[in-house]
Structure 1
Amino acid sequence: MYKSQIKIISVIIIALFGFILFSQDLEANSMPSLDYSIELQHDGSGIVTEKRQMHLTEGTEVYIVFDQLEGSEITDVFVSDYDEPFTYQENWDINASREAKTGKYSLIPTDEGYEISWGIGEYGDHEYTVRYTISGMVRQLKDGQSMLWRLFQGRNNLPPKKFSITVTGPKYFDPELTKIWGFGYDGEIYLEDGQLVSWSNQPLTGRNHITVYMQFLDQPFQPTLSWDQTLAEQNHQALENNSYQNEDDTTDIVAVILLCSFLGIGVLIVILASIYTAKRNKAIRAANPLITGIKRTEMNEGKVYREIPYSEGNILDVAYLLQEHGKGDMEAYFNAFLLKWLKEGYIVQLNTNEANGDKLKLTVQLLDSNTPELEQQFFDILLSAADRYGVVDTSDVTRWAEKNYDKITELKASLPYESKRTLIDRGYLYNEDVYFLGNFRAEVTKSSYQGEDLYNRLIQFENYLNELLSLDRVNLQQQNINEDIIIWASLYNLVEPFVEKFQEVEPAYFVTHHFNYSNIYLLSLYSSGFSSGYDQAVTSHQTSMGSGGTTSFGGGGGSFGGGGGGVR
């Protein structure tokens, strides 16, 4: 709550200063809107059409800079104003008068690439259409194809108040085989009706750029240019690198002025926040909160619990405690449920002979109606990924996880929340309010005697699993290891080393149980595929929504194009 209050105060102060500093129009020239239409061709070239609504009161020409082409060429330039075509001029004189440049344009080779320049004409409002072809917009990579192109660079340019982008191809872009990102601006980017669409949510400034990144997994083009990178390497560079942030920018002067203005207020806020945090933490420590993490591990060092640590309900009930211990993540729970459903007969391993070899699949059946809701949601992952015959393989699960990132995120958030609520309802945990600095309040999670015992059993059971992994064959054969122990081992991410140990020293174990080495290994592929699909989607979404959504202010490193320019 205190963070929100501080933020509100800070925003009000900044807004007041901003209103004073920026209430005047600092730029005479302006660009109300900029619209890009890019038609990608089969050879990887692109026909780009820019529509620029501009209000101009000074200067003689507008120009666009292409200085990062890396082998691409600019051809077939066309310029018009209010649909009146301009005339191409071979030898462009940058120092010519505005009158001499009126109605004319040129493509100017430079040491770094090209410039497209055209005369402003009369001062006032204009609707310029600029069309040109860029070869090699789509590049052939080592393992795929991509377009990573900077269309507009805000630094020393005339940033548009709003813009839009449309990208089409020789055929519709398949959402499952085309990944998209937008960098450098606050906006949205999506695939709609087989084409990319993007737009801005805020006016651009000198600190912005417009960079579009597309990966084509189905390789639908025959590019004339290649780039010595894999998709993963280019992806890492585009998502992580942000050389733009390191560039000098005249608008940084404004940031420095604001920083100096707010420095005193900022110091005061930091001091107050530090006092608040220190008092809050002191009050929480004094209330003896639930001990978690390393301290809980140290409390149980050398102690083992050789039974299932929780049998009063579903394994989901203890997710909160396990996650406070760094265990019981989504992949672990998915793997544990796969083993549980295999044991209970809800999923059955199939062998199918196909042209590409023996392929392992699962046949999915329906769970009982009294199954807990969260477990049913895990099971629905298999049902949704399965075909109409109820058959699902690992690649189906991976694709489903990547495509349904939002559903998994909701389920992931529900795990600790619902678990904690269950533990409170059953008397293992409870919340207590503590007060500090007068009427400020903090909520503390504490454990009852039963809760302490349960949490300690969970830690000691992990110690037991690690103890089993250290036993030799003779001692391991003396242990009574049932299938529930293997299921629980999944929650601690120990099922694979556990099963490998059994396969090595006691292979006969798998003859007399529902589980065998091959199907345990197979189910681990399902859970790891589920996790990898989700993680890939998380990376894309957190950075810039690779499958569509909100764009990123940073990123776009390694892009081609340029996009600089302005009015001069």
Structure 2
Amino acid sequence: MKQKIAVIIVAFLCAILLCTPALAASRVPEMELNVALRPDGSAHITQVWTTDTDEGTEFYLGCRDSGYLTITDFSVSDQNGPYVYVEDWDVDASFEEKANRCGILETGEGVELCWGISEYGENRYTIEYVLHDLVGSYSDADGFNHRFVDEMSFFPTDVALTIRNEDGTPLTDENCDIWAFGFDGQIQFEDGVIRAWSEAPLEGGAHMTVMVALEKGVLSPGRVVEDSFESVKERALEGSDYGDSEDAAWDDEPLTAGDVLLFAAIVLTPVLLILLLVALLVKVGKARRKKRMERVGYFRDAPNDGDLNVTYQLGRCSGLCEEDALLGAYLMRLISQGCLESTDDSIDAEPVRLRLSHGPQSGNVYDDALYTILEAAAGSDGVLDPNELERYCGQNYIPLSRFMESCERSGKQTLIRSGCLKGAVLDHDKDLTKKGQQELDEIYGLKHFLLDFSLIHERGVKEAVIWQDYMIYALILGIADKLEAQIQELYPDQLPQLNQYRRYVHYTGCYNGVMYGAYSREKLRRAPNRRAGGGGRVSFGGGGGFSGGGRGGIR
């Protein structure tokens, strides 16, 4: 009898699972939004969705009217051409009836923009419409706080938003201020436009809300608001991590000797305790990493399928890599490929000048991107000088910033797609799944192998691998000097190759220090401007009082 009951329960559960729609399998890997602001405060918005679907009949995109927003000129097209606009959209129509058609459905909150899936599998949809009265005219500024992407039934992996003036007038930190809320990513001024992009999938309640304040005269909005934009800003910044706008107030009374001693006792004592705790944690962390490395054994190949971005992400979360290691690894790769050559082969030459000899042949987009930055810094003579490079990186923060952020984002997203992360956060190796831990073990194994290189007598290893791949990973793991000693012990008769290795490490250290130092200083300098609207990292919290928004997805 018990067996019969068990069979019935299993059959019932199977029936439920079979009847459940497989919408979770559908996904939107990329979503691009282009917002062209018009002089009257309306915006022509173009969204491009890259999708992969296997269920449902239509996509829908909600937009709350917020009491003043209206949408016109809605159209949809895909890779096969434009869709036919249907006046009365029927959500209950069949898959075939919705194919190559689009329409607007009125709801109690506003409208939903709808279009047929038309064809399962991978598709690319272009959605266009005009959003009227987006920008409001306030007493002190013009602007908006708008939710461009709200919660959806799927999680967009990559979202990129561009805001520009339709007439070409540049949007810069001189005529507008910018903030963003609700997602893990950045918002920046770049080449006269505003760009915001995600660095992790928009999941778990994430959204893309952007606030822009424009100087009077940039636009002439038709929507007039009897209030200040400062009040909009204050409401949006509530609950955000943009920080306080004012420094702490100090009274004007002079400090006495007692005040100084009291300050020292209150402040310095906890600081000393914290330093002792940090030192203890560092020591424990080193011991734990050494124990794990010895347990893992040797790994002789390039870890993580040769993806430096993945190796860096795993190395950072586990304490195996320093913050500047990734830039150094890419520089070393360009040098070892012969893309950068010294104008003087002497290792003692100061300053080290590097000539750009040829572009990367690896086919790696990050090698190409970094080479392009160096090419721009070198100028017409094609020769890099440390002082010249430092000035360029300080004055051209955005290209290097985008390169660094793109590398980090790529590594993290690769780990997410391959099932190596438990969620969207990677702050510690505890955030890794079992598969992620296996990927991390490859790095531990390679470090173990490189540290014991001479002891295990790996004389069968090809020299090309030793002088190129191994030294790049030794650099990213912070053991380049130790590998040099290992090679010298194992190959005492190969002095030219050893000297070459030393030169590569020297050149890389010099230029990595210059580039990353300039990048870090400029990043630190820009940090106080974040609350003031200068752009930077997005606040996950805050963004209240927004217009627009509305759920979307597949049904």
Classify the TM-score, shorter chain: 0.3 to 0.5
Radius of gyration: which is bigger?
1
Superposition TM-score, scaled by structure 1 size: 0.43
What is the TM-score of this pair, normalised by structure 2? 0.44
